[in-house]
Amino acid sequence: MFLSRIACYLVHMYTLIYMKLKTHMRNLNPKTRISQSALIHPTVTMCPENGWVVIGNDSTVNDFCAIHGGGGVRIGNGVRIGCRTVIHTVSHHFERTDVPIWKQGVYAKPILIEDDVWIGANCMILGGVKIGAHSVVGAHSLVTKDIP
C-alpha cells in the first residue's frame, strides 16, 4: 500500500515536470507563447504553421488536443480545454464546382478564446470565432459562430 502511494506520487511528479519542460521547449518556437503557469499535456499537438499560438496564465490543455494556429490562436487566462478537442484556423475554399476542392486553396481565420472559459471534451472550434469570457462549451460541440 505504502509503496503504491509512493509510485503514484512519483509518476504524478514526473508528469508535472515533463509538462513544464514541454511548455518551455514549445516557447523556443518564436510563433508560440505559452505562459509558464499553463499546463500543456504531453500528447497535445500544436502547429503554429504560418500563424501563432498564445496561451495565457493558469490555462490547461488536456490530452490528445490539437491546436492548428495557421490563422492565429489566442487562449486567455484560466481556460480549461478538455481532451481530444481540435482548434483549427485553416479551411479549404470550395466555392467553385468546376475545380476540385483540393486545388482551390485554403484560407485562415483567427480564433480568440477569452479568459475563464471551459471547453468540454471532443469539441471542434473552427476559424473566425470568438468565445467570450466565462463561457462553457459543452462536450462534443462544433463551434462555428461567436459565443458571447
Q: What are phi and psi of 25, to 5 degrees?
A: -65, -40
The verdict on residue 84 lying in a domain is yes
| pLDDT attached to residue 32 | 81
Asked whether residue 148 is domain-assigned, the answer is no
What pLDDT shows up at residue 147? 96
Considering its fold, how many domains does the chain have in total? 1
What predicted TM-score, i.e. pTM, was given to this entire model? 0.81
Looking at the domain assignment, is residue 108 inside a domain? yes
Flag whether 55 is in a domain.
Answer: yes
Would 139 be classed as within a structural domain?
yes
Q: What is the per-residue pLDDT across 71-115, written as a single tens digit (0 to 9) for each?
A: 999 999 999 999 999 999 999 999 999 999 999 999 999 999 999
Please give the backbone phi and psi of residue 118, each rounded to the nearest 5 degrees, phi first: -115, 120
92 is catalytic: yes
Q: Is residue 15 part of a domain?
A: yes
Q: Provide the pLDDT for residue 77.
A: 98
User: Cell 476542392 maps to which residue?
Assistant: 101
Set 92, 93, 134, 140: catalytic member: 92
CATH code for the domain of 90: 2.160.10.10
Distance separating alpha carbons of residues 139 and 73, to the nearest angstrom:
20
Domain of 78, in residue numbers: 2-143
Average pLDDT for the chain: 88
